[in-house]
Amino acid sequence: MFEWLSVHIDIVSLLWLLPILFMFHDFEEILTIEAWGAKYRTRLEDAIPSFMRKTYHSMLQMTTRNFAMDVLFVYIFIVTVTCIAVFFSNYLLYLAVLAVFFLHVFTHLGQTIYLKIYTPGVVTAVPVVLPYSLYAYYRLLNDNLVSLGDIGWSLLLVLLLLPPILWLLVKNRTRIKQN
pLDDT digits (tens, 9 = 90+) for 30-80: 999 999 989 998 888 888 888 777 767 767 778 899 889 889 999 999 999
* Alpha-helical segments (H) within 2-129: 2-8, 11-47, 53-60, 64-88, 92-115, 122-124
Distances (CA, A) of 96 to 40, 86, 103, 172: 32, 15, 11, 23
- pLDDT, greater one: 174 or 52: 52
- pLDDT score at 51: 76
Summarize the confidence of residues 79-107 as an average pLDDT: 97
Indicate whether 179 pLDDT > 50: no
- pLDDT score at 166: 77
pLDDT tens-digit readout, 160-172? 988 887 777 767 6
Distance from C-alpha of 72 to C-alpha of 63, rounded to nearest angstrom: 14
Distance from C-alpha of 101 to C-alpha of 21, rounded to nearest angstrom: 10
Indicate whether 109 pLDDT > 90: yes
The dihedral of CA 112, 118, 122, 127: what is its sign?
positive
Confidence of residue 173 (pLDDT cuts 50, 70, 90): low
* Nearest Cα residue to 62 out of 101, 43, 36: 36
Predicted TM-score (pTM) of the model is 0.88
Mean pLDDT (the chain) is 90
- pLDDT score at 61: 76
Chain centroid offset of residue 138 CA: 19
Residue 118 is classified by DSSP as -
Q: How many beta carbons lie within 10 A of that of residue 20, not counting itself? A: 13
The proportion of the chain whose per-residue pLDDT surpasses 90, expressed as a percent, equals 68
Confidence of residue 26 (pLDDT cuts 50, 70, 90): very high
* Nearest Cα residue to 123 out of 46, 36, 7: 36
The angle that helices 130-142 and 11-47 make with each other, rounded to 10 degrees, is: 140
Which residues are CB-contacts of 153 (< 8 A; sequence separation ≥ 6)? Answer: 92, 95
pLDDT tens-digit readout, 115-145? 999 999 999 999 999 999 999 999 999 999 9
Summarize the confidence of residues 98-117 as an average pLDDT: 95
Distance from C-alpha of 79 to C-alpha of 49, rounded to nearest angstrom: 35
